[in-house]
Amino acid sequence: MRSVLKKVFWFALAFGIIVQIFPRSNALEPETNSTDNLVIQEAIDNIRFYSSYNYQTLTVDKLNRLTADFYLPVNYSDVSITYSIESDYLLINDETETITLRTGDIEVIKVEVIDLPSVLKGEQAFVINATFNYQGDSFTKVYYGQIIPVIPDSFLGGSIYTIVTYGKMFFEGAILTLGISLVGTIAGFILALFLATSRLIKVTEQDNKLMSLIKIFFNKFSAIYITIFRGTPMIVQASFFWYGFGLFGDPLLCGLFVVSLNTAAYIAEIIRGGIQSIDKGQTEAAFSVGLNYSQTMLFVIFPQAIKNAMPAIGNEFVINIKDTAVLSVIGIFELFNQAKKITGMHYRQLEAYAIVALIYLFLTYTVSAILKYIEKKMDMKPVDLVSSN
């Protein structure tokens, strides 16, 4: 049963993405046809269709996005108009009725939307043939429109609708979230190597005054850096750099910058822990055969420390997938912000947030599983490290 549900879910998702990626035919252009009869031409130029919602005028644009019943006027001054519609979704009422517009009463017939197409079918084109009759003269004009699916009331229907309609937005958001997290983690890692090293260097007796000062400077710098970035929320850091300085003039670059800086502080502590967890004997053994400090660090200590710290660093990547959601605050359309945008478009919150939660879960779960697999393959033994926000 679960596997069937799973298949259905994947199929729906895949289908939604495909439907979104391949463009479908658009509504047809309205026909430019005219007649020699001036009275009829005037009627053609001036008649309007009206939506059943507040009797709004249906422009060409709105005719292409129909979701509800509408009215067709049966006459324009002395010109009488008859209609036929080709569509499985629309039905013309035979009886005329009167509606009251601001400009006065008019006689109309009602076109009912008897069925909305499902979201999987997409928009359905229809054709209205309007025949204008005046003193034995008649002319038929063709109008094209489309009837579009709307979000169903049920949660399941609403969810499927949301996935199919906005699949592309979710997809783009997920890619951006993954990209920012990955790049931020890698950049943060590189920066963290520098920070962790600075944090661990010690002034020795052989150093001259200048060297000691430089070492102390780097040491203090990285200590302060780590304190600040671990001690403040990333949402504040992002706002600070973007709204405070408009850094790089591009929220995406600014966001990447903030994520990298933030991650670096955490990974630096992880690497420092990793280095400290290496037996002092490794350093001494390296020294005892003549390697100097940097050679020892580079060829003996770092490789071991980083290998041990890799699970924790991978964990930072997973955390970043979730935490980059705060970048929505500076206007980056990563996954969460896409969901916010979608809720604003159809005023239904539950479905969009449920879907986005599932996507996050899917991303973090998959990435964790992949990382675990790599760890196992590379035979890393995790060190117990507390980390993360």
Between the two ends of the chain, the Cα-to-Cα distance in Å is 38
For residue 279, CA distances in Å to 107, 195, 378 come to: 92, 21, 21
Q: From the CB of 385, what's the least distance to other proteins, in Å?
A: 18
> Looking at beta carbons only, is 2 or 376 nearer to other proteins?
376
Cβ-Cβ contacts under 8 Å for 389 (sequence gap 6 or more): 230, 233, 234, 266, 319, 323
Measured CA to CA, the distance from residue 132 to residue 72 in angstroms comes to 12
Specify the 3-state DSSP secondary structure of 351: helix
Q: Is 214 in the site for other proteins (CB under 8 A)?
A: no
Q: Are 137 and 295 within 8 A, CB to CB?
A: no
Interface with other proteins: number of residues (CB under 8 A): 21
Exactly one of 67, 140, 304, 388 binds other proteins (CB under 8 A); that residue is: 304
- CB neighbour class for 182 (10 Å; exposed up to 12, middle 13-18, buried from 19): middle
Q: Is 212 in the site for other proteins (CB under 8 A)?
A: no
φ, ψ at 77 (rounded to 5°)? 40, -110
Q: Which stretch binds other proteins (CB under 8 A): 46-54, 176-184, 243-251, 288-296?
A: 288-296
φ, ψ at 323 (rounded to 5°)? -75, -20
Nearest CA to 359 out of 178, 155, 156 is that of 178
Q: Are 184 and 259 within 8 A, CB to CB?
A: yes
Letters for 16-45 (x = contact with other proteins by CB under 8 A, - = none) are ------------------------------
> Looking at beta carbons only, is 234 or 306 nearer to other proteins?
306
Exactly one of 48, 168, 230, 307 binds other proteins (CB under 8 A); that residue is: 307
Specify the 3-state DSSP secondary structure of 76: strand
Q: From the CB of 283, what's the least distance to other proteins, in Å?
A: 9
Widest CA span in the chain: 113
Q: Are 312 and 382 within 8 A, CB to CB?
A: yes
Exactly one of 26, 131, 295, 366 binds other proteins (CB under 8 A); that residue is: 295
> Looking at beta carbons only, is 203 or 224 nearer to other proteins?
203
Half-sphere exposure of 86 (CA within 13 A, CB side): 7
Exactly one of 74, 92, 291, 354 binds other proteins (CB under 8 A); that residue is: 291
Q: Which stretch binds other proteins (CB under 8 A): 180-188, 200-208, 225-233, 367-375?
A: 200-208
Exactly one of 144, 287, 341, 371 binds other proteins (CB under 8 A); that residue is: 287
Q: Is 221 in the site for other proteins (CB under 8 A)?
A: no
Q: Is 277 in the site for other proteins (CB under 8 A)?
A: no
Exactly one of 136, 208, 288, 378 binds other proteins (CB under 8 A); that residue is: 288
Q: From the CB of 238, what's the least distance to other proteins, in Å?
A: 37
> Looking at beta carbons only, is 85 or 291 nearer to other proteins?
291
Q: Are 30 and 125 within 8 A, CB to CB?
A: no
Q: Which stretch binds other proteins (CB under 8 A): 239-247, 269-277, 300-308, 327-335?
A: 300-308
Q: From the CB of 286, what's the least distance to other proteins, in Å?
A: 7
Strand blocks (E) in 257-385: none
> Looking at beta carbons only, is 244 or 281 nearer to other proteins?
281
> Looking at beta carbons only, is 54 or 288 nearer to other proteins?
288
Binding site for other proteins (CB under 8 A): 204-206, 279, 281-282, 284-292, 295, 299-300, 303-304, 307
